[in-house]
Chains A and B, each alone.
Chain A
Amino acid sequence: MGTLADLRSIPVDPLEPIPYRVVELVQETVDVITVVAAPVGQALPPAQPGQFMLVWAFGVGEIPISVSRMAADGRVMLTVRAVGQVSGAIVGLQVGEVVGLRGPFGTVWPVAEVLGADVVVVAGGLGLAPLRMAIDALVQPDPRRITVVVGSREPAQRLYPGDLTGWAEQGASVHETVDTADREWHGGVGTATTMVERLHHPHQAAFVCGPELMMMSAVRALAQQGVPTDRTWVSLERNMHCGIGHCGRCQLGALLLCRDGAVVRWDHVEELMEVRGR
């Protein structure tokens, strides 16, 4: 009989969901939960910063969710907002229940390529989830070169406040802003773009993730501040189905975002982003 280690080394079929058990649930905000899931048997390969899994809620359906963190023992953290049927079912999971995971899929934030540069990371709302591991990896070697700008709807909707404090304590420059607040709020009130416009320190590279409107406006502000568009990466998250470049559901121009994204260089998609939906 094979050992667990043998089982873990068997290559996985990218179309077959692998069972993971929910071992912990972290209530991040009123409607956002981080599901911590551990492999029941065979584990998927570790996700890199920016990659996503297809998460199967049994009997309901399957949706793409970014990996917000990986633990050394193979546990996967997925931060999910309930917006519909499948995400609602995932947010409603109990500890001990099992989900199916496929992946990890997609491109990664090019952390190694920008190390040594002054990097600004701009996250809006849940967009902080796929950036979390990238920020960890950037801050750890050289925190003083890293600026993090985070926009949220209101203070109660902030994601990972402990991480934000931790990155700031390590020496990164962290700027938070919300759409509205009361007087107790310590950060800015306004858009992430307004916060970006306040940065006077020049940056040579940027990672941006959030609602598309927010990303487009933030990227324009970054370009005005001199961040080159070929050193600016965004994460484009369109509806997905197969996750492996077969079905065409995630097509954007010549790109299949499940395979060529979600993380893409801005100068490769800038024109496509100007095309209006109908």
Chain B
Amino acid sequence: MSDLNQLLAQHAFFAGLEPHLIDRVADMATVAEFPAGTWIARRGTEAGTFHAVIEGRAGIELASAGQPALVVATVHPGEIVGWSWYIEPHRWQFDVVALDPLRTVAIDGGLLRVACVDDHELGYHIGRRLARVVASRLDATRHQLMDVYGHAR
């Protein structure tokens, strides 16, 4: 097994995926490194790649006019950055920055999308995993919006 296959097989997002499916994803992937403070994605640009984080933290940032940008979520090893590559219009919804020196497996979202249409087994497993990530982020966002710590206990 190549290093890349191994990184993917050990990553929580891909855990349990059959080896032949890991091989397919590995064909579209490469290891990427980002020094702390560099952009991984910019809001509004084409979401061509998504990242399985191996080392370091990525920060999802939200900036509104005249306000300093705020990190609204961090993405840690074992988690992924980005699902916009999967859903139209395939544009990043947020800015994403490396908060630490960051190592990821960068996967070509365009190729993976085509592969998911082509191979429904792969499509099902990737879609299910993405739905889990989206559901968990949605739940977290709801709790953050409630500003639970802003009130008395």
Encode contact with A along B130-150: 1 for CB under 8 Å, 0 otherwise: 000000100110011011111
Say how far B116's CB is from chain A's closest CB, in angstroms.
25
* B152 x A87 contact (CB < 8 A): yes
Chain B CB within 8 A of A23 CB: no
Q: Report Cα–Cα, A185/B74, bound state, in Å.
A: 10
Known A190-B144, A193-B140, A194-B140; judge A153-B37 contact (CB<8 A): no
Q: Report Cα–Cα, A211/B71, bound state, in Å.
A: 23
Chain A CB within 8 A of B20 CB: no
Chain B binding surface, main DSSP class: mixed
A-B contact count (CB 8 A): 82
Q: Which residues of B contact A177 (CB under 8 A)?
A: 74
* A191 x B140 contact (CB < 8 A): yes
Q: Which of A145-180 contact B (CB under 8 A)?
A: 151-153, 157, 177, 179-180
* A190 x B152 contact (CB < 8 A): no
Chain B residue nearest in CB terms to A210: B153
* B140 x A214 contact (CB < 8 A): no
Known A183-B71, A217-B139; judge A188-B149 contact (CB<8 A): no
Say how far B138's CB is from chain A's closest CB, in angstroms.
12
Q: Which residues of A contact B136 (CB under 8 A)?
A: 194, 197
* A183 x B148 contact (CB < 8 A): no
Chain B residue nearest in CB terms to A87: B152
Q: Report Cα–Cα, A189/B76, bound state, in Å.
A: 10
Chain B CB within 8 A of A126 CB: yes
Known A188-B57, A237-B153; judge A180-B148 contact (CB<8 A): no
Q: Report Cα–Cα, A127/B74, bound state, in Å.
A: 23
Chain A CB within 8 A of B99 CB: yes
* B70 x A125 contact (CB < 8 A): no
Contact of B149 among A151, A189, A237 (CB under 8 A): A151
* A189 x B148 contact (CB < 8 A): no
Chain B CB within 8 A of A8 CB: no
Q: Which residues of A contact B76 (CB under 8 A)?
A: 188, 198
Encode contact with A along B46-81: 1 for CB under 8 Å, 0 otherwise: 000000000001011000000011111110101000
Chain B CB within 8 A of A124 CB: yes
* A179 x B151 contact (CB < 8 A): no
Q: Report Cα–Cα, A182/B67, bound state, in Å.
A: 12
Q: Which residues of A contact B9 (CB under 8 A)?
A: none
**Among B69, B152, B153, residue most surrounded by chain A Cβ atoms (within 10 Å):** B153
Q: Report Cα–Cα, A83/B146, bound state, in Å.
A: 17
Q: Report Cα–Cα, A177/B57, bound state, in Å.
A: 13
Encode contact with B along A197-222: 1 for CB under 8 Å, 0 otherwise: 11000000000001101100100000
Q: Which residues of B contact A (CB under 8 A)?
A: 37, 57, 59-60, 68-74, 76, 78, 97, 99, 136, 139-140, 143-144, 146-153
Q: Which 9 A-B residue pairings sit nearest by Cβ, starting from the closest?
A: A125-B149, A211-B148, A153-B149, A83-B152, A189-B74, A191-B140, A191-B143, A179-B144, A180-B70
